[in-house]
Amino acid sequence: MSMALESEIQQNRNMAFRLQEAAKSDRLERIVCELMSELGLDLADQHFSGTPVRVARLYRELTRGYRLDPSETLKTFHSKCSELIVISDINFNSLCPHHLLIYRGKMHFGYVPNGRIVGLSKIPRLIQNMASRAIVQEDLVSEIADTFQSAVSPLGCLVRATGRHDCVAVRGVKCHEAQMTTVALRGVFRDKASLVEEFNQVLTRRET
C-alpha cells in the first residue's frame, strides 16, 4: 500500500473517531451510531463518518413540530369577507409514525371567514409545522382543521391532503404510485355540500 493511501486512510479513521467522540455529547447522534453499528456499517468509512450528525439533524428537523406552538403562526386581521377562500398546492412532508419513514404530497385548504382572515403565508406555515411530526395522514388533516378552527374561529374550514408514503413504496407491497387522500371538514363545510363543490371547482379551474 502506498504511503499516500495509507495516510489518507488514517486521516479518514481519525475523522471518524473525532466525529464519534463528538457524537458522544449528543444522545441522538450516539443512538444513530449504535443503530449503524448494529446494522454492520463501518463508521470509519469516509461516507459514514458524518452520518450520525446528519441523521440526528434530519430527524430533529422532521420532528420540529413538537417544539412549536402551531396556533402562534395564525395572526389574524379584521375583514368583512365571508366568501370561500382557497389556498391550494401547499407541499408538505411528514413522518409515518409506524415506520418513521417520510410521506409527502400536497394539501389544499379552504375556509369561510367569520370577521377575521389570516395572512396568506400563515396557512402553509401552519400545515408544514403541524406536518413536522410523526403522525398518520388521517389525523394530520383533522388536527390542522381543529387548530385552525380554534385559533381563527371561521364559519368553517376544509383540509384535503394527498400523500405518497415511502413505507408503502419501499417495503411491504412496494406500491410506488399509490396515493392516499384524506379530508377534514369543519363547520359550514359539513353542512353545505355546495360549498365543497365550490371548493372543488376552484381547484379544477386554478392555474397550474
Minimum Å gap between C-beta 177 and Zn ion is 16
Q: Is 167 in the site for Zn ion (CB under 5 A)?
A: yes
Minimum Å gap between C-beta 135 and Zn ion is 11
H or E segment and range at residue 165? strand 156-165
The answer for 174, left when phi > 0, alpha when psi is -120 to 50, beta otherwise, is: left
**Nearer Cβ to Zn ion (81/170):** 170
Q: Which stretch binds Zn ion (CB under 5 A): 27-35, 39-47, 97-105, 145-153?
A: 97-105
Report how far residue 31's alpha carbon sits from residue 186's, in angstroms, rounded to the nearest whole number. Answer: 41
**Nearer Cβ to Zn ion (103/148):** 103
Q: Which of 149, 170, 169 is nearest to 158 (CA)?
A: 149
Question: Is residue 133 a contact partner of residue 65, using CB atoms and an 8 Å limit?
Answer: yes
**Nearer Cβ to Zn ion (106/164):** 164
Round to the nearest angstrom and report the end-to-end CA distance of the chain. 58
Chain residue whose CB lies nearest Zn ion: 167
Q: Is 96 in the site for Zn ion (CB under 5 A)?
A: yes
Give the interface size with Zn ion as a residue count (CB under 5 A): 4
Minimum Å gap between C-beta 170 and Zn ion is 10
Of 30, 99, 116, 164, the residue at the interface with Zn ion (CB under 5 A) is: 99
Report how far residue 20's alpha carbon sits from residue 44's, in angstroms, rounded to the nearest whole number. Answer: 9
- Quick check: helix, strand or coil at residue 124? helix
**Nearer Cβ to Zn ion (40/172):** 172
Q: Is 98 in the site for Zn ion (CB under 5 A)?
A: yes
Question: Is residue 103 a contact partner of residue 167, using CB atoms and an 8 Å limit?
Answer: yes
- Quick check: helix, strand or coil at residue 70? helix
Minimum Å gap between C-beta 178 and Zn ion is 12
**Nearer Cβ to Zn ion (64/98):** 98
Owner of C-alpha cell 467522540: 21
Q: Which residues are at the interface with Zn ion (CB under 5 A)?
A: 96, 98-99, 167
